Amino acid sequence: MLSVNVLSNLIGSLKNLIFPSVCIFCQRPIKNGYICNNCMNDMVYKGPRCIKCSKPVNQNTLLCSNCSQKTYYEKGFVLFSYNNQKVANLIKWSKFSGHFYYLNSIKHFKEHIDFSIFDGVEALIAVPMHRKDLQKRGYNQSLIIAKILSTLSGICVYYDIIEKTLQTKPQVGLKRHERQNNLRNAFVLNPKAKKFKKVLIVDDVVTTA
């Protein structure tokens, strides 16, 4: 059985052999990949960020609404602003339309990643999906992102630290307390997690904490 990364690269290569390489957003010809340099530049967030999780905030705000309340994480990093339409489309297409190989574009934004987020981290853990949801979609987009970050950082991805045992409704559109209640008791932590002092949880969107 082919791994997701190998299958992703194979699909991308076959696509480029059959069709001319064009940017998935503006349709301009490109030599390789899925996004042209102009569109990648449009996707990069250049505004003020939360000093704790790095989410985009208003000019005079130090902490985002989530970090201003009680949280259980030390630090976070957000690569894009989800208010950007290209970013929103990239997430939608890779998550719900089967174009998971588009996520390989993340490695082209390496210079915009705050690598201090990996300081002291011993394991990368992708937010797991319930087995029924995984069977339906066929892949976990957060795991694909985690593997890309593993390649960039040299930190291993661990697959069995967290298991999602309850099938929950989508988090989109729910308020903070509704998201927390929706996920309550949905995950089980493997006892071997105790051996790690610091881990990095990877998701395709900001994870409720």
Q: Mean pLDDT across the stretch 68-88? A: 90
Torsion angle (degrees, nearest 10) of CA 188, 192, 194, 197: -110
Pick from 26-40, 56-70, 174-188 the range whose average pLDDT is largest: 26-40
Residue 1 maps to a domain: no
Q: Does the pLDDT at position 92 exceed 80?
A: yes
Residue 34 maps to a domain: no
Euclidean distance between CA atoms 138 and 123, whole angstroms: 24
Euclidean distance between CA atoms 174 and 182, whole angstroms: 9
Q: Identify the domain containing residue 181 by its residue range.
A: 113-209
Q: Does the pLDDT at position 99 exceed 70?
A: yes
Q: Does the pLDDT at position 1 exceed 70?
A: no
Give the pLDDT of residue 143.
96
For residue 105, give the nearest of 4, 11, 33 by alpha carbon. Answer: 33
Residue 75 maps to a domain: no
Q: Which residues pair with 22 in a beta bridge?
A: 29
pTM: 0.85
Share of the chain above pLDDT 90, in %: 60
> Of residues 23 and 206, which shows the higher confidence score?
23
168-206 b/e (C-beta count within 10 Å ≥ 16 → b): beeeeeeeeeebeeebeeeeeeeeeeeeeeebbbbebee
Residue 174 maps to a domain: yes
Q: Residue 119, exposed/middle/buried by CB under 10 A (0-12, 13-18, 19+)?
A: exposed
- 29 and 16 Cβ atoms separated by less than 8 Å: no
Residue 7 maps to a domain: no
Residue 175 maps to a domain: yes
Mean pLDDT of the chain: 87
Give the pLDDT of residue 8.
56
Residue 162 maps to a domain: yes
Q: Does the pLDDT at position 103 exceed 90?
A: yes
Residue 83 maps to a domain: no
Q: Mean pLDDT across the stretch 88-95? A: 93
Q: Which residues contact 86 (CB under 8 A, 6 or more apart)?
A: 25, 39, 42, 43
DSSP 52: T
**How many domains would you assign to the chain?**
1
